[in-house]
Amino acid sequence: MIEFKNVNKWFGAYQALVDVNEHVARGEVVVVCGPSGSGKSTLIRTLNRLEPIQQGEIHLEGHNIHRAGLDVNQFRSGIGFVFQQFNLFPHLTALQNCTLAPVHLGRLKPAEAREQALALLERVGLRHKADAYPGQLSGGQQQRVAIARALAMKPPVMLFDEPTSALDPEMVGEVLQVMRDLARDGMTMLVVTHEMGFAREVADRVLFMDAGQVLERATPEAFFSQPQHPRARQFVADIRGFGTVPAAPAVAAA
């Protein structure tokens, strides 16, 4: 469904992506991890053209999405993107955040969009907050609304850029639960995250990146228990050592 072919990207003289070749199948959940600055966010941002690439091709359902002349807006509306900082529109209510794009882009009539938005908010457990403004919601609630907003365009693919990194620890669980449900419903997902518990439970595959290269691809089990590449071994040791991971207390107790 998604294919990276020899993708190279530079920020000025700095090479952010180095010869990335990856394939993601429909319904697959892929977790991308790696140290900060390794290019993992850049990788998924190239997938909806928030970042341009200088070499290579990225295909989505057989279409080259970085070709000139592509209807970027049409294409982007088919990819859900969830940001680390939520980026809800603060001047609109939770409900309006979820109806803005479908109505403005003519996909749904206002009444239909409203109904769909309420159903989506229900799905993320926030129907009762439909009329709240983002400023009135906790971080975890905002991120769940952001997921509902992305789902409102009915995208076949969802991208998550460190969706829980800006959250207080007690709110991480509610967001991961929503993502877990999505994965279970068969959504194709690319998730940049360090949540080992989530990766183990939900991911089909883990990609490990460093310095713009994908150094390792493995099942979550294999990756977290026996990382092969030295950089990956170091990384796994680091995130275990400074565990902000939900799995950590259970491990400590055992």
Partner 1 sequence: MSFLEMVDTYWLYFLVGRYPEGPLGGLALTVLLAVSGLVLALPAGLLLGLGRVSPWPWLRWPVTALVFVVRGTPLLMVVFWAYFFLPSVTGHKTDQFSTMLIALAIFDGAYLAEIVRAGIQALPKGQFEAARSLGLSYLGAMRLVILPQALRHMLPSLVNQLVSSIKETSLGYIIGLSEVSFIATQINTLVFTLPLQIYCVLGLTYFVLCFGLSRLAFVLERRLAAPAQGAAQKASS
Stretch that binds partner 1, among 3-11, 112-120, 146-154, 195-203 (CB under 8 A): 146-154
246 belongs to the binding site for partner 1 (CB under 8 A): no
Stretch that binds partner 1, among 33-41, 147-155, 218-226, 246-254 (CB under 8 A): 147-155
Q: Which 96-115 positions form the footprint of partner 1 (CB under 8 A)?
A: 100-101, 104-105
DSSP 8-state assignment for residue 226: S
> Got the DSSP string for 67-130?
STT--HHHHHTTEEEE-TT----TTS-HHHHHHHHHHHTTSS-HHHHHHHHHHHHHHTT-GGGT
β-bridge pairing 63-64 and 2-11: unpaired
- Selected binder of partner 1 within 40, 42, 58, 83 (CB under 8 A): 83
Return the structure tokens found at 62: 């057989």
Task: Check: CB of residue 125 under 8 Å from CB of residue 181.
Answer: no
81 belongs to the binding site for partner 1 (CB under 8 A): yes
Instruction: Name the residue nearer to partner 1 (CB basis): 100 or 222.
Output: 100
76 belongs to the binding site for partner 1 (CB under 8 A): yes
230 belongs to the binding site for partner 1 (CB under 8 A): no
**H/E segment holding residue 179:** helix 169-184
- Selected binder of partner 1 within 14, 74, 252, 253 (CB under 8 A): 74
What is the closest distance, in whole angstroms, from the C-beta atom of residue 3 to partner 1 in the complex? Answer: 20
DSSP 8-state assignment for residue 25: -
Task: Check: CB of residue 32 under 8 Å from CB of residue 147.
Answer: no
- Selected binder of partner 1 within 38, 41, 42, 48 (CB under 8 A): 48
What is the closest distance, in whole angstroms, from the C-beta atom of residue 174 to partner 1 in the complex? Answer: 6
Return the structure tokens found at 139: 């971080």
Instruction: Name the residue nearer to partner 1 (CB basis): 141 or 213.
Output: 141
**H/E segment holding residue 61:** none
Chain center to CA of 98: 18
Dihedral angle of Cα 99, 187, 33, 121, to the nearest 10 degrees:
30
Instruction: Name the residue nearer to partner 1 (CB basis): 105 or 111.
Output: 105
Stretch that binds partner 1, among 21-29, 54-62, 138-146, 190-198 (CB under 8 A): 138-146
87 belongs to the binding site for partner 1 (CB under 8 A): yes
15 belongs to the binding site for partner 1 (CB under 8 A): no
Q: How far apart are CA 157 and CA 151, in angstroms?
A: 9
- CB neighbours of 106 closer than 8 A, spacing ≥ 6? none
- Selected binder of partner 1 within 38, 141, 164, 188 (CB under 8 A): 141
150 belongs to the binding site for partner 1 (CB under 8 A): yes
Residues contributing to the site for partner 1 (CB under 8 A)? 48, 50, 73-74, 76-79, 81, 83, 85, 87-91, 100-101, 104-105, 129, 132-133, 135-138, 140-141, 146, 149-150, 153, 171, 174
